[in-house]
């Protein structure tokens, strides 16, 4: 049976008349203003633990699957990055050879011109 807050206050006043104020306060603290059927029992907590454990196991499986998928994708990206690095190195090598060849041609042309003029 649940009691209202007004009934709790009435009980406190009666207890203060019969006992002293300190003992009435202790007695009131021992009687929480809620219904006892609202408290969780050990069985309730055990059922909750089982339900939460199964949910966490499911979530753990999903997270592990996602991580494995991401690792697979990262492996593919590493291969793509390696290919891009090789392509870039090859293109830079070609450009460097072209630049050095053009510089040599310019110096040879300049040298030929200076020899012809002098």
* 16-66 pLDDT, tens digit each: 888 888 887 777 777 766 666 677 889 999 999 999 999 999 899 999 999
Alpha-carbon span 36 to 24, nearest angstrom? 20
What is the value of pTM for the model shown? 0.39
Residues spanned by the domain of 87: 40-118
Q: 48 and 35 in contact (C-beta within 8 Å)?
A: no
- What does the pLDDT read at residue 8? 76
Evaluate whether 56 touches 48 at the Cβ level (below 8 Å).
no
**pLDDT at 1 > cutoff 70:** no
The answer on 45 and 11 residing in a single domain is: no
**In this structure, are 50 and 71 located in the same domain?**
yes
Contact yes or no for 17/34 (Cβ under 8 A)? no
Same domain, 26 and 47: no
Q: Is 57 found in the same domain as 33?
A: no
- Are residues 77 and 53 located together in one domain of the fold? yes
Residue 37's pLDDT is what?
67
CA-CA distance, 118 to 116, in Å (whole number)? 6
- The pLDDT value given to residue 97: 95
The DSSP 8-state label assigned to residue 33 in this structure reads S
Query: How confident is the model at residue 103, as a pLDDT?
Result: 95
Cα separation, 54 vs 61, whole angstroms: 11
Answer yes or no: do 110 and 78 share one domain. yes
Instruction: In whole angstroms, give the CA distance from residue 103 to residue 96.
Output: 10
| pLDDT tens for each residue of 51-110 | 999 999 989 999 999 999 999 888 888 888 889 999 999 999 999 999 999 999 999 999
pLDDT in the model for residue 69: 92
């Amino acid at each position: 049976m649940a009691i209202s807050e007004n009934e709790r206050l009435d009980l406190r006043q009666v207890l203060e008349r019969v006992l002293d104020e300190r003992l009435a306060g202790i007695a009131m603290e021992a009687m929480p203003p809620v219904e006892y059927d609202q408290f969780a029992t050990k069985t309730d907590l055990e059922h909750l633990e089982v339900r939460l454990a199964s949910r966490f196991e499911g979530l753990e499986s999903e997270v592990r699957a996602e991580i494995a998928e991401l690792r697979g994708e990262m492996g593919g990206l590493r291969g793509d990055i390696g290919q891009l690095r090789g392509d870039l190195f090859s293109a830079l090598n070609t450009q460097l050879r072209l630049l050095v060849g053009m510089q040599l041609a310019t110096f040879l042309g300049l040298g030929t011109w200076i020899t012809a003029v002098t």
